[in-house]
Copies of this chain bind each other. A is one copy, B any other.
Amino acid sequence: MSVCEGKTFRYSNASIISYGSVAGSVESEGPFGDEFDEIIKDNKGSAQTWEQAEALFQQKALKHAMDKANLVPEKMDLVFAGDLLNQCIGSSCGLKDYYIPFFGIFGACSTFAEGLILAGAMVNAGYVDNAAAVTSSHYSSAERQFRFPLNYGGVRTPTAQWTATAAGAAIISASQKPPFIKAATVGKIEDMGITDANNMGAAMSGAAYDTISRHLKHMSSHPEDYDAIITGDLGEVGSNMLYELFKRDGISIEQHHKDCGLMIYDREKQDVHAGGSGCGCSASMMCGHFLKHVENGDLKRILYVATGALMSPTIVQQGESIPGVAHAVEITYK
């Protein structure tokens, strides 16, 4: 692990004024199926390919967020977007018809937190009046690209996670309405030496530990100060590794920890192995569920830590290990 401290950014003027979520079939059957703004039951909608379907999910998620804020694309100043697909085509194809100034970002499943941090920073500093963070993932496009074509019918390992078919979008602006982005800590790349492309949770746990540790230190806060510390998609394997890492420091975070990957599906009834994953997993859980509860005050202070396994089939085939990264965003009611 690293000695570099980095900085924790503070925000005084960044509110998440609206958010939208779109989810697919398997997600609609999970415990939060009713909370998403839109369900696309066939996972494809009007699209002809899985990649275009993923793009459609992003387009719709941002549309829901814009509609709720009474914003049209011409009134949007900036969008940060990215996804898991090579060259982030879910974002570029999904958002191109809006003609909003566009910054592509890549952090694998940490992308939504990266987007919130940067969109919040640009608004808070006054560069723009509003900025959006958008991301997505799609089970079918991800399996084809990262593992095997679905038609191959490969058996999945117990450590494998199920890439969520979902998208989330949030719009940040200066406003007095919660949820507020209050602070953020940018992750460093941490390589745990994991070479198994079916064990993403383990590859990300070290990065999550490092980022959460630095955030708590810089904020002089403790796990019990948060209503929830929400990781993106460590899944069962990665969550347990996170607990072990914190135990070495004498810190217990289990009671305060939630993982979107463990929440989005009903693991008793749905065959998703170690849990959900994909940029869209935590983005849709934030935009479908958690942000509502910060907005209405049920949750006063949360730490959202999206975790990304920077996994490339190319380097996995070349025998390299999979680096991880995690970015933390502190979101509050007041």
- Residues of A bordering B, CB below 8 Å: 2-4, 6-7, 9, 48-49, 51-52, 73-74, 76-78, 82, 85-89, 92-93, 95-96, 98-108, 114, 118, 121-122, 124-129, 145, 185-191, 310-315, 318, 320, 323, 325
Chain B residue nearest to A88 in the complex (CB): B106
What copy number does this chain have within its complex? 2
Q: How far apart are A191's CB and chain B's nearest CB, in angstroms?
A: 6
Q: Is the CB of B3 within 8 A of A99?
A: yes
Q: Are B122 and A320 in contact (CB under 8 A)?
A: no
State the Cβ distance, A183 to closest chain B Cβ, in Å.
11
- Distance (Å) between the CB of A219 and the closest chain B CB? 15
Least CB distance, A118 to chain B, in whole angstroms: 7
Contact yes or no, B102 A3, CB < 8 A: no
Query: Which residues of B sit under 8 angstroms from A314, Cβ to Cβ?
Result: 51, 85-86, 89, 145
- Chain B residues whose C-beta falls within 8 Å of the C-beta of A99 in the assembled complex: 2-4, 188-190
Contact of A86 among B48, B100, B186, B312 (CB under 8 A): B312
What's the least CB distance linking A122 to chain B, in Å?
Answer: 7
Contact A189 B310, CB 8 Å, known A77-B6, A315-B51: no
B108→A106 contact, CB < 8 A: no
